Structures are given as C-alpha cells and as structure tokens.
Amino acid sequence: MNDGPADQARHSWPDRVAVAALGTAIAVLLALIATFDYGRDQGIYAVVGRTILDGGMPYRDAWDFKPPGIYVVYAAARALSGGAQWGIRALELGGLAAMVWMFCKLAHRWWGQWRIGLWAGFLAALVHAQLDFWHTAQPETFGGMLSVAGLWAATDRQATRHRWPYLVCGVLFGCAGLLKPPLAGGGAVVAVWAGWQAMQSQPAPGRRPNRWRQLSRPAGWVLLGGALPFALCLLWFWARGALPALQETLLGFTPHYTALGWQEHQLVELVGKALLEWLLGYCSLITAGLLLTLVLWRRLQSQSGIALLLGVVAIQLLGVALQGKFFPYHYAAAWPLTALIAAVGWWHAWRLAVARGRGAIALFCLALLGAGVLRTATKDVQGSFWLRSARRIHLYVLRAEDQPAADGLATVADVNAAANHRLAAQLRQRVAPGDSIYVWGFEPVLYDLSERPSASRFIYNVPQRVSWSAEASRHELIDELRSCPPAAIVVASKDTLPMVTGDLSDSAQALQGFVELRQLIGQDYRKLMEIEDFELHLRRQ
C-alpha cells in the first residue's frame, strides 16, 4: 500500500522506527493471546461446538442461552484443532491479523495514510490482550471483527458502482448479529451513511425521487444481506428439528435473564454507564487517543469516516446498555472501531512531534508510555496486565511444561484451573470412554477436559437455579438422569452467580432445595472424594 495524497511528507527514520516498533508490538501481543486458555464461557461454547460436530444441535442437545453464532465458531475451531483449546485462539489470531490489514485499507481510503491502520492494529491488539483469557474469544470478540470487515466491504470503491459490496456488508453484519443481535444494527448505520454519501456525490441536486433512490439503494442491499444469515440459521434449525428449542431458549429464558440487569434502572442510566465505562473505564491509551482525535478534529481529512465509526460504536454501546450486565467482554465489539478512531489522534500527534524534532519525539514517547501504564483493560484476574504478561513470557519461553504455573494464569474467582484438571483426570480414570457424566454446577469445561459426554442437555445448572425456569427444567433434568444414569455426578460449591441467577446461593445450596436430585445422588451414588470445591460421586455397582 502506498501513501495517498493526504500525506506527502517524506517518511524519515522516526517513521520507519515507529512502523517497526508497532509491528513488533502487534506480534508480541498476538503471541500473548495465543497462550490464553479457556475461561468458563469458553468451556460452554466448546461443549456446544463439540455437540454440533457430533451431530447434535444447540439448545436442544446442549443448552446455553447465547445466540447460535458463537457455537458455530467454536465448532469450526474444534474441527481445526481436533478439540484442542488452541483452535479458538488460532481463529482469534487470524481474525486479529486480518483486522489489522483491513484497518490499513480503511485508513488509506479515508485519510490517505495506511500507517494509521497500523496504529489502530496496535491499540486493538493491546486492549484485546489486556482483556485476558476470561473476556476474549467471546461472541463480541468475533462480532467486532465482522463489523470491521463489514465497513471494509461497504467502503470499497466498487460500492459506488456495484451492489455486491453492500450485499457483502449486510451478510457480515448479519453474521455479527448471530453472535450478538445488537451488532447487526451496525449495518443500518452503514446503509444510512452510504446513502448519504451517494446523495452528496451527485453533481446536481436532482429531483427528490432520485435523491431518495440514492439514499435507499444501499439500505436495500445491506438489509437483504443482513437477512440472509438469519434466514439460513432458522432454516438449519428447522431442518434439524431444533427450532422449538431455539425459540424456547432465546424468546423464553433469555429475556428473563436480561431483565435482571434492568432492575431498578432506567435506560438513560444504563446508556450513560455504558458510555462512561467505554470512555474512562478501560485502556487509557484508547482514551488518550480519542481525546487527541477530538483536539485535532480540524486537521482530519475525512471527518465522515470518523462519523461512520462513531455511529457503529454507538449502536454497539446501546447493545451493552440493553444487556444491563456491563461485563468487560460486552464492550469487546466496540474496541476495534474505537481503536481506529483513537489511532487517528495518535498518528496526527506523532506527525506533529516528528515535524518538531527529537525533543518533541521524546516527549511524545514519554506521553505514550505514561498513558499506557496509567490504566489497562485487565479486570477480574489476579495481577496487572504487565505482571501477567511477564509471567506468560517467562512460562512459555522458559518453562513450557510447567502446568501449575499455566493453571495459575487460568484461574479466576471460583474457577480453579488446577482443580478442573485434577477432577478431569479422575473422571477419565474412573469413567469408561462413552459413558456419560453429569456436573451439577457451572463448570461445563469438565465435559471437555474429561472427554466424557453429558448425561443431560443441561451442561450447567443455571436453568434449575433461576426462579423463572427452575420447576420445568428440574423435572426435565431428573427425567434425563433417570432414563440415562450417568456413571459419575459432580457437585460444585462456592459458585455464586448473582448477576446470572439473581441470588447468592451456590450449587451445593441449591441442591438442598432440589429434593429429587439430592435423593437420586444419595440412593444411587457414593461419594468418592472432594477436590477443591467439587464432590465426585460414582454410581453404585
């Protein structure tokens, strides 16, 4: 890619050093991401993905309440890796690398300078790495990548002469919507932007019907493309007889779960919180870049590109507010586009520093480092981003076989990676391949680690613990366990999930109120051992 007319300055040694430094930083950050293990959610998606590869269907044969797109992604990852956890990280890294390339293309189109895209790639990779294993490889992660791809398709020069770029854009945003429904709304923003650009590019005002045709033509193709993934998904579920299960879960269970975040809150309050956390709650390099873009607004060549990015980000943040949970990964789709906006500010500040000489360059580098260490997006895990990164580098460069150290980096709150591996080893030893197990808790990764199937479609017990579905789902679970008794039952404790279940009880406490399951375990199973917060029960012979 060559520099466009917007940047005719000769790129001196500071620019070449900056490009090399940014490229190296991106490579290091991608290497760190490659070391991430599964968290709790990733274990859920992996088990449902395994079910798909085994011929089953989400919701009907392996229950979770996320949209169906993420399970297809994990099924593809498992097909790639043979079930190993590196498969999803390989897809993630491929998406991040492609996103950096698309950033460079978008930056060249809008601002005539592809190096802005390299800055954006660095910022996006940085915040991604800072989110750590727990908040990455999530639906929003891949939805953000698809959103960038949708913008790349819609802003292609062919889009002004042909229809296919808008159709492709719609398909990409539609796929993003299958990962997280609000993300599909980004396609509507692109459609309006493209129509407005077409109207503005007319040589003469023209007749009003023609102007409205210019406005509506992109919208029609984006809408058609956006509908295609949803139509194909519904057709897939219908053909496999799983449409009722999808409807029961996404239209029955999920609205009640979402409502937990709305208790005693108004939409304006939720939107305000999402906006403030996006601006101030995560990576300070992103925040500083946004401020620089605002300060240097008049210097920008293409303000319409920034407006488009902000419009799509606004839809994404509205989706965060509507969920009402404000988990860090809920913002993951917004960071790539936010990084591109912030990169514009950092790039222009860099060019000003280069123009003023070595002293200004030194001050710029100090400001960059200072902003980098001020605040990171790392939350919910033990240790800072910098400490955890040093540990990862030390572990995977010098001590690659140190499983306890790796487990320490994959442990969060009540999720103990070492205990999960120990329990999975016991299950592999004591349960024959092909025999089923059941985990009464919120650790479905045990099915994956032990390589044993679940005796129930309920791969974790949230449906049996929440007020709106407990009665029906408990009856169904007991029927499944009685008709196909598992060889082992695991009972978890200390897994309180108030943001999910709406109360402070854990699985062991919930079991006391589930008389049928408690009696089944007491009569047909014997307690073998305890491992951390797990009890392992084997079926009596």
> For residue range 201-228, what is the model confidence (pLDDT) as tens digits?
665 555 555 666 666 778 889 999 999 9
Distance (Å, rounded) from C-alpha 62 to C-alpha 71?
10
Nearest alpha-carbon partner for 364 in 15, 111, 100: 15
Core vs surface per residue 238-258: b (16+ CB within 10 A) or e: eebebbebbeebbeebeeebe
The burial class, CB within 10 Å (0-12 / 13-18 / 19+), for 232 is middle
Question: 3-class DSSP state for residue 521?
Answer: helix
For residue 354 the two structure tokens come to 């280069």
Nearest to 328 by CA among 274, 386, 373: 274
Note the pLDDT of residue 351.
94
Q: State pTM to two decimals.
A: 0.94
Alpha helices in 375-506 (DSSP H): 385-398, 403-409, 417-430, 445-450, 462-465, 470-483, 498-501
CB atoms closer than 10 angstroms to residue 332: 27
pLDDT at residue 129 in the model: 98
CA distance 451 to 445: 10
Asked if residues 333 and 140 have their Cβ atoms less than 8 Å apart, the reply is yes
**Coil, helix or strand for 370?**
helix
Residue 504: exposed, middle, or buried by beta-carbon count in 10 A (0-12, 13-18, 19+)?
A: exposed
- CA–centroid distance for 281 within its chain: 18
Nearest to 423 by CA among 397, 450, 396: 450
CA atoms within 13 A on the CB side of 161: 3
| pLDDT value for 1 | 46
Which portions of the chain are predicted below pLDDT 50?
1-9
474-509 pLDDT per residue, tens? 999 999 999 999 999 999 999 998 989 989 999 999
CA distance 215 to 225: 17
The predicted structure's pLDDT at residue 7:
46
Which domains, from first to last, does the chain contain?
Answer: 36-251+269-374 (no CATH), 381-412 (no CATH), 417-539 (3.40.50)
pLDDT for residue 9: 45
Question: CA 404, CA 386: separation in Å to the nearest integer?
Answer: 20
Strands 525-531 and 488-492: what pairing?
unpaired
Is there a contact between 169 and 154 (Cβ–Cβ < 8 Å)?
Answer: yes
Phi-psi domain of 137 (left: phi exceeds 0; alpha: psi -120 through 50; beta: other): left
Tokens of 168: 């492709």
Helix (H) or strand (E) holding 175: helix 164-179
The pLDDT score that the predictor gives to residue 6 is 42
Retrieve residue 348's tokens: 């222009």
